[in-house]
Structure 1
Amino acid sequence: MMDIGYSIFTCPFLMLPALAGFALGLDEVLGIPIVVGIYILITLFLAVGIAIVSIFENRYYLLFGIKSWWHYARYSFLSLNYILALTCFILPILHVPEQKHALAVLEKILTPVFVLFVPAVYFAFSVVKNYHNQAANNFCIIIIALHGSISTIVMLYIHEPYRKYCSNAFYGAFKAKKIESSIVTSVVK
């Protein structure tokens, strides 16, 4: 949703550090107020972090917490995540069954965090230091808009079954295929 919001609906053109800008997307065409578009984009940006934590919580609950005290505490935990969305980038990994899988999961989770965090740090720097670089502003917006695509590519690369399938799908089509033939001769008298 965030990718669609950035790329199609709002398509922001920012002029930092002045905290100025305008929408170039469908929001402008449809007459949606810029304040509503910004509110939705910020909410979607924060929802990405909440979704990551919620996935881990759900896995923990299904594997270990159904018949424990966690069954009662999970709703408070999830509510706290929505309230403290800005601090959801700290990922507590409590149970790591194997390092290779844990590193793959960590890379998959940290990729969108970095894709979103780096532009956010630049935007904050630009505002605090009163620095204007329109090319960097536009580049950061492009990076944020590509968040979903980058996450998908990383997931396909990290997980071995997906990687093998994609390799066979892309490279298998270009391999020369061996065609076996047999010659049958018949003699007619």
Structure 2
Amino acid sequence: MNYSSYLDTADFQALALHIMIGIEIPVHFLGFYCILFRTPISMKAVKWGMLNLHIWSIGLDLGVSLLTVPYILYPALAGVTLGILSKFGFPVSYQTYLLGVLIGLLGVSIVSILENRYYLLFAREHWWRHVRLPFLIFNYIAACSYFTPAYYYIPEQTEALQNVFKMLPELPQEIYDAPVFVLATDFRYVVFPVCFMTTLMVAESATFIILIYGNMAERNKKLSLSRHTMKMQTTFLRCLNIQTSIPLLILLLPMGYLVISRIFKIYCQSANNLCFIIIAAHGLFSTFIMLYIHSPYREACFRIFCSKITRYSSRFSTVSTVL
């Protein structure tokens, strides 16, 4: 059997992700520049939280598009990696664990920026100031360790690979000849830890959003905050919610397909490839949204690019006049 489309192949997966990383790197550098040098005093309190979120978004992009480049034979939890780490001989089990940790740390960075906002606005004199450090440490430990059961119960590969090939339809010969790695044959060791971490991050994020809006509404009733301050805080919080929620909503598309694929045992390699391309684009979407919705960053980008266009146009006009 041969794949019916170039989209099914490992070559397409590698090429698409390598092209994407070429687009992502300059955009991410622009994001770094804006956070470090164009964050106004009014946003100084959240500067490092935004930088932390940006770093882990970049980490996930680099992890998928450059370091590992996964080619997954879903609905089996098996596949090969085509990235730099494989070229240097890193075991696929380590690479899989790395991706799991990067996803967990991204979730923790979102919770951290929301927690920081709650603390700065409402909890500096609250009992929460004594709990926040252990809370954050717990989250980071959870992000670095939640994938341990999946790693610990990696099956014996020869028998597991036979089970995988029985599950899937006939594959091209190059797949049978490739060093396919099987993460698990029992999905519980992967699904339960992932569900635990996802539920924890969603619950914590929702809690801080509710606490922030609830406290703002209460203070607004008591008129303890000026209208200008309230409007500024509400606008910034809305921007922050958009910055964190839209990329996560984008991730729901591939995640939803992967769940459906597992339930109904659908094997479509081109869809698998496109799912990981969308996942790899998460940080790119996040950076674009950050640069657009926060007005200081948007204005900085307009000045940078408009000045370059103006200089280019003036040079072109000068050359045309001389000719």
The 5 A counterparts of 1:68-107 are: 68-79=126-137, 81-82=139-140, 83=142, 85-87=197-199, 88-90=201-203, 91-92=205-206, 93=209, 94-96=211-213, 97-98=230-231, 99-107=234-242
The alpha-carbon deviation at position 56 of structure 1 amounts to 1.6
Query: What is the CA–CA distance in structure 2 between the aligned matches of 1:117 and 1:80, rounded to whole Å?
Result: 26
The question of whether the paired residues in 2 share the 8 Å contact of 1:50 and 1:85 is answered with: no
Flag the 1:112–1:89 CA change in 2: closer, same or farther, 3 A: farther
Query: What is the CA–CA distance in structure 2 between the aligned matches of 1:117 and 1:77, rounded to whole Å?
Result: 27
For residue 252 of structure 2, the aligned residue among 114, 117, 132 is 117
Query: What is the CA–CA distance in structure 2 between the aligned matches of 1:165 and 1:142, rounded to whole Å?
Result: 29
Query: Which residue is equivalent to 1:166?
Result: 301
Query: What is the CA–CA distance in structure 2 between the aligned matches of 1:8 and 1:157, rounded to whole Å?
Result: 26
Greater CA drift, 148-157 or 68-77: 68-77
Partner amino acid, structure 2, of 1:45: I
Query: Which residue is equivalent to 1:48?
Result: 106
**1:21 has 2:138 as partner:** no
Query: Which residue is equivalent to 2:119?
Result: 61
The 4+ residue runs of structure 1 with deviation greater than 6 A are none
Query: What is the CA–CA distance in structure 1 between the aligned matches of 2:246 and 2:290, rounded to whole Å?
Result: 9
Partner amino acid, structure 2, of 1:149: L
Flag the 1:18–1:85 CA change in 2: closer, same or farther, 3 A: closer
Flag the 1:55–1:72 CA change in 2: closer, same or farther, 3 A: same
Greater CA drift, 10-19 or 168-177: 168-177
The alpha-carbon deviation at position 80 of structure 1 amounts to 5.2
For residue 261 of structure 2, the aligned residue among 112, 126, 137 is 126
The question of whether the paired residues in 2 share the 8 Å contact of 1:2 and 1:44 is answered with: yes
Identity of aligned residues (%): 38
Greater CA drift, 111-120 or 138-147: 111-120
Give SS of 2:72's match: strand
The alpha-carbon deviation at position 167 of structure 1 amounts to 2.0
The question of whether the paired residues in 2 share the 8 Å contact of 1:19 and 1:127 is answered with: no
Query: Which residue is equivalent to 1:156?
Result: 291
Partner amino acid, structure 2, of 1:141: F
The question of whether the paired residues in 2 share the 8 Å contact of 1:17 and 1:131 is answered with: yes
The question of whether the paired residues in 2 share the 8 Å contact of 1:126 and 1:132 is answered with: yes
Greater CA drift, 39-48 or 66-75: 66-75
The question of whether the paired residues in 2 share the 8 Å contact of 1:47 and 1:85 is answered with: no
**Structure number, greater radius of gyration:** 1
| Larger fraction in helix | 2
Give SS of 1:173's match: helix
Over the aligned positions, Cα root-mean-square deviation in angstroms equals: 2.2
The question of whether the paired residues in 2 share the 8 Å contact of 1:2 and 1:45 is answered with: yes
For residue 11 of structure 1, the aligned residue among 69, 72, 80 is 69
> 5+ residue gaps in structure 1?
178-189
For normalisation by structure 2, the TM-score amounts to 0.50
- CA deviations 1:39-79 (Å, max 9, x no partner) are 11011111111111012212333443333211222244335
For normalisation by structure 1, the TM-score amounts to 0.82
